[in-house]
Amino acid sequence: MSKQTKDFDWELNSVTNEFDPGLRNQQHMKSLLNSTGPGMCLAKWTQVTMHLGNGTTHSCHHPAPHKIPLEEIKNNPSALHNTKFKKEQRKQMLNGKRPKECEFCWRVEDSGEQSDRVYKSLDSFSFKHHDAIAKLVGDEDIFPTYVEVSFGNTCNFKCAYCGPAYSSQWQQEIKKDGPYLLPDMTFNENNGEHSEAHIPQREHNPYIEAFWEWFPEAYKHMHTFRITGGEPLLIKDTMKVIDFLLENPNPNLSFAINTNACPPDGMWEEFTAKIKLLEEGKCIKDFVLFTSAEASGDKNDYVRYGMDYELWKKNIEYFLENTLYAGVTCMSAFNLLSITSFKELLVWILKLKNDYNWAGWDRWLLSKGLDRPPINSNAVTMNKRQSVKPARVLIDIPYLRHPTFLDASIASLPLVQDYLLPAIDFMYKNLSHGDWGGNIGFDDWEARKMRRTLVGIVDKAQEHCDDSDITTNPVTRQNRTRFYNFITQYDKRRDTNFLATFPEYAEFYELCRQEHVILHNLKAQGKA
């Protein structure tokens, strides 16, 4: 018989008195889920990502999106989340089975580690719904509490690691020049797990129509609503959502948008003004702007092709200056081309934290009914900080693993030693002050995530290190060869110059060329 949440002694954070996702609660949640069955995961009910540009959906980022049948949404827009396919997976979970599409989590758990089904079920938007979900049979239409929606792939960037599914610019390039031809693979063909063709923005889209039938009721049940892309600010439905929330407030809703923060002239100011109106009218609980940079200066512009790094920084500062408490999280997909300039990005992020985060000592003074100290020329700009949200500026550093030829683990040891180690050292030298619970420096979890990335890269770099740094690992050799071929084609197609932009990679680039020759010769000899 399935247990209930009341059967466990859950821990609360001693400072915030909020639910703590620590180890003890993780163990409780795994036991709670397993009381229904070893495949139970609340995300299958509470969480959804909808790709409305091509009509696909999934409940977390691990399983591939599946098609939303048009016949299902015709009379039931709720099928954007409650597809027949997803209901079958739910029934398997409720009956003690492990759905095949969730095999990523099963591999993790079978290796003795904690899987994402536990973490996702612990999230505040999932946890409190466990007892009700455990009583269901699986056929029910339910409203999700965490929703991500992409209205299409319209985008003004074509980042090196992205592809046609998320960028119309990439889609156009592949249509014109074909996919990148790399050793034993092609990169960015218009196929794969996101292969369904995107419906152009100018044409009738039944999935978006179904969304607007479903959303006016669904948003009342949401904890978090996040718009992804493409570039959302280039898609009219994004502004339509904001206008809807202005007219139909939900003060319990956490709202977020992913944006490259470099839309055409005038659009950024209009967008910022609308977010401020949402705040002033208390139309939402809070807002977070998710944006991306993986390097700095012209190096970042090379990777995130179409971006103007200086404009991006200017726009982020404008947004923080002209909103009340909205947060900004820089999502940095750390990759091979991040290594040499990532510290410069961290320096700027730290400056933003110093300017806009609410310091622990400042919070303590206010809690005692004391005024803030007077601002002087040597003090940080306390006047810019808002007391509503202590940490407005955060950085999240996920590790890019695909495409594998842009995985930082194929880097040479000198690149890692000379550039990556100083970057992580900079984060730890500038941690926030734990004794005050302050948010001026880097949070411990931000640094730890970077450290986990670093450890894996260093281990790999040491594995394939000798006097010449030529590897004997066939996978590393293949990925270095693919990197060399990719960059060669990339520069030709986009009129860029890798070595002019990344002169510090010259030795590594030559190393990759040598690996290319070695692999070619091995294949000619039938040894690869």
Q: Highest mean pLDDT: which of 58-62, 235-239, 437-441?
A: 235-239
Q: Where is pLDDT greater, at 194 or 503?
A: 503
Q: Are residues 228 and 133 in the same domain?
A: no
Residue 410 lies in a domain: no
Q: Are residues 72 and 159 in the same domain?
A: no
pLDDT at residue number 22: 81
465 pLDDT tier (thresholds 50, 70, 90): low
Rounded distance, CA 353 to CA 440, Å?
Answer: 5
The SS3 assignment for 248 reads coil
Q: Are residues 117 and 172 in the same domain?
A: no
Q: Which of 144, 177, 208 is the last residue of a domain?
A: 144
Rounded distance, CA 395 to CA 332, Å?
Answer: 7
Q: Are residues 287 and 164 in the same domain?
A: yes
H or E stretch at 256? strand 254-258
Q: Are residues 206 and 309 in the same domain?
A: yes
Q: How many CB atoms lie within 10 A of CB 381?
A: 10
Residue 43 lies in a domain: yes
Token reading at 343: 């510290």
Q: How far is CA 256 from CA 30, 142, 288, 305, 412, in A?
A: 29, 22, 5, 24, 38
CB 319 within 8 A of CB 272: yes
C-alpha atoms less than 13 angstroms from C-alpha of 488 in its C-beta half-sphere: 14
Q: Are residues 76 and 171 in the same domain?
A: no
Q: Are residues 262 and 328 in the same domain?
A: yes
Report how many domains make up the chain. 2
pLDDT at residue number 385: 47
Residue 239 lies in a domain: yes
Convert the pLDDT of each residue in 91-134 to its tens digit.
999 999 999 999 989 998 998 888 899 999 999 899 999 999 99
517 pLDDT tier (thresholds 50, 70, 90): very high
Cα diameter, the chain: 79
Q: Are residues 206 and 279 in the same domain?
A: yes
pLDDT at residue number 180: 97
Q: Is 509 a residue whose pLDDT tops 90? A: yes
The SS3 assignment for 227 reads strand
Token reading at 381: 């700009």
What average pLDDT does the structure give for the chain? 89
Q: Which of 113, 144, 175 is the last residue of a domain?
A: 144
Q: Scan for tokens 């693919």, then name that residue.
A: 482
What is the length of the chain? 528
pLDDT at residue number 500: 98
Q: Are residues 135 and 157 in the same domain?
A: no
Residue 171 lies in a domain: yes
Residue 451 lies in a domain: no
Q: Which of 102, 127, 144 is the last residue of a domain?
A: 144
C-alpha atoms less than 13 angstroms from C-alpha of 330 in its C-beta half-sphere: 25
Convert the pLDDT of each residue in 347-386 to its tens digit.
999 999 988 887 655 555 655 666 554 443 333 444 454 4
Domain of residue 249: give its range. 150-372+389-397+423-442
Write the CB contacts of 35 (distance below 8 Å, at least 6 apart in sequence). Answer: 1, 2, 3
Residue 284 lies in a domain: yes
CB 81 within 8 A of CB 49: no
pLDDT at residue number 192: 45
Residue 428 lies in a domain: yes
Residue 132 lies in a domain: yes
Q: Are residues 261 and 276 in the same domain?
A: yes
Q: Are residues 161 and 136 in the same domain?
A: no
Q: How far is CA 493 from CA 157, 381, 487, 489, in A?
A: 15, 45, 10, 6
Q: Are residues 137 and 174 in the same domain?
A: no
| Long-range contacts formed by 447-455: CB under 8 A, 24+ apart | 449/396, 449/397, 449/398, 450/334, 450/397, 450/423, 450/424, 451/424, 452/399, 453/334, 453/397, 453/399, 453/408, 454/420, 454/421, 454/424
CB 319 within 8 A of CB 406: no
Sign of CA dihedral 336, 340, 343, 345: negative
